[in-house]
């Protein structure tokens, strides 16, 4: 995730409230949270998680820390008006991975635009694994 903490969305006079001009600042973490929630709404997506995170999940479970944060497996780069979202995911076996990725892109882009006012210029999807029943396939 980027080191900057916020981005400015300037809607101009056409979207101001009560005739006053101003600016809206959307933190990068907000964009990541919106993207993570929107991605998880897509059928066929088993989980969002960075590659190699299974060992961390085992450790989190052992010490009783919940690893199911909304931004897990999500990174964003935001400038003044656009966002680039990258997602690391695990897909369910038996559902077209290409279709899941396309649905994730569409849902994330739509949610980011609708909820933050930013244009989502790109949504990159990396499928690291597939879930078969209760088991993962990749090492």
Per-residue model confidence as pLDDT tens digits over 67-119: 447 888 999 999 889 999 999 999 999 999 999 999 999 999 999 999 999 99
Element at 76 (helix H, strand E)? strand 74-78
Burial tier of 19 (Cβ tally within 10 Å: 0-12, 13-18, 19+): exposed
Residue 87: closest CA among 57, 47, 126: 126
Q: What is the pLDDT of residue 24?
A: 78
* Per-domain boundaries in the chain: 26-136
Residue 42 φ then ψ, to 5°: -85, 125
Provide the pairing of β-strand 6-9 with 24-27.
antiparallel
Q: Which CATH number fits domain 26-136: 3.30.70.1350, 3.40.50.970, 2.60.40.420, 3.40.50.300?
A: 3.30.70.1350
The arithmetic mean of pLDDT across residues 19-43, rounded, is 89
Q: Which residues pair with residue 23 across a beta bridge?
A: none
């Amino acid at each position: 995730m980027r080191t900057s903490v916020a981005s400015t969305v300037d809607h101009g006079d056409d979207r101001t409230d009560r005739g006053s001009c101003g600016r809206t600042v959307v933190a990068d973490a907000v964009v990541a949270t919106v993207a993570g929630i929107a991605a998880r709404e897509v059928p066929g997506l088993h989980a969002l998680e960075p590659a190699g995170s299974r060992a961390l999940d085992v450790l989190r479970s052992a010490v009783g820390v919940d690893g199911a944060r909304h931004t897990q497996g999500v990174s964003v780069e935001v400038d003044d008006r656009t966002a680039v979202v990258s997602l690391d995911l695990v897909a369910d076996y038996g559902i077209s991975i290409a279709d899941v990725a396309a649905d994730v892109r569409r849902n994330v882009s739509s949610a980011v635009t609708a909820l933050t006012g930013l244009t989502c210029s790109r949504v990159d999807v990396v499928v690291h694994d597939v879930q078969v029943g209760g088991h993962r396939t990749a090492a």
